[in-house]
Structures are given as C-alpha cells and as structure tokens.
Amino acid sequence: MELKEKSVKALGAQNFQGILFKATFPKEFTHWVYVCDKKEGCLRKEGEIALMDSPSFNRYFDVFTEDQILARYALSPKLMERFCSLKEKFNCPISMVLRNREVIVAANLGKNSFEPSFEKSLLEDSTIRDYISSIKGFTDMVKELGLNNHIWK
C-alpha cells in the first residue's frame, strides 16, 4: 500500500474531494471546451488557450479549446457570469468541461460530500444539516448555471 501511495504521488495525481456534476446541454458541441480554475488547473487540457470577453471570468479561469468560435458561443456572457458566481459561492477551485451535449462541473470542496463522520452521530441535527447543505449544493449548481433554463435564449 505504501509503495502504491508513493507512486501515485510521484505521478502528481491530485486528490479530488467535492462535487462532480454532469448535466445535459440543449446544444451539441463538436469540440471540447475546458474551463480550468487558475488555482488548480485541469487534469486534461486540449487545444489552445482562449481569452474570453469577461475580465472577471479571465481572472478566475483559463479556457482551452480547439475551436475558438465554439468556446465563445458556448460560454455566453450569462454563463460566464453564472460560473463566476458559482465559484464565489462555493469558495473553492471549480472547473467545467463542455463536450457533445454534456457539461461536467467539478467543485473541489476539500471534503467528501455525503461521507458520514465517525465523530458525529447520524441522528444529530448538525449532521442532517450538513447532508441537506450538500444536496443543496447540487440544486444550487443547477440554478446558478441555469441548467434548468435554455441558456442561449
């Protein structure tokens, strides 16, 4: 076990603890668009860096794509604003991948969501509030990114 742990660290693998969220987009993308948090980066980046029209978005994120026009179309001003708000709300590194008809969002909260603590009873009010807060994180993500609306309208 110790040997395996050391080899993973030698590869520079990152330990992700947080929310990984996948949703369907109403539009299909022909190329990948990677939105990488500048504090953490992405595990995979393809294409060239795309500078977006939003200074606040560019301060938080790097965008990589093989299609600059697609990146600007997919990352509308409203979506960039919502993604910045989501980053500020979660106050943690957050990244996004757009591909095919999917959006995948990773918010690295630094803790495992939904994992029970051995130090607290599952019957305590504070434990239940923590679970409700984790679930609310998912629903807030849907609302904040407007995934329950048509983004391009």
Angle between helices 77-90 and 125-145 (to 10 degrees): 160
pLDDT for 56 beyond 80? yes
pLDDT for 6 beyond 80? no
Listed as own residue / partner, the contacts of 127-134 with beta carbons closer than 8 Å and 24 or more positions apart are: 134/19
pLDDT at 153: 45
Q: Whole-number mean pLDDT of the chain? A: 79
The two tokens of residue 1 are: 């076990």
Give pLDDT tens digits for 58-108.
Answer: 999 999 999 999 999 889 898 899 889 888 888 889 999 998 888 898 888
Burial of 42 (C-beta count, 10 Å sphere; 0-12/13-18/19+): middle
pTM of the model: 0.74
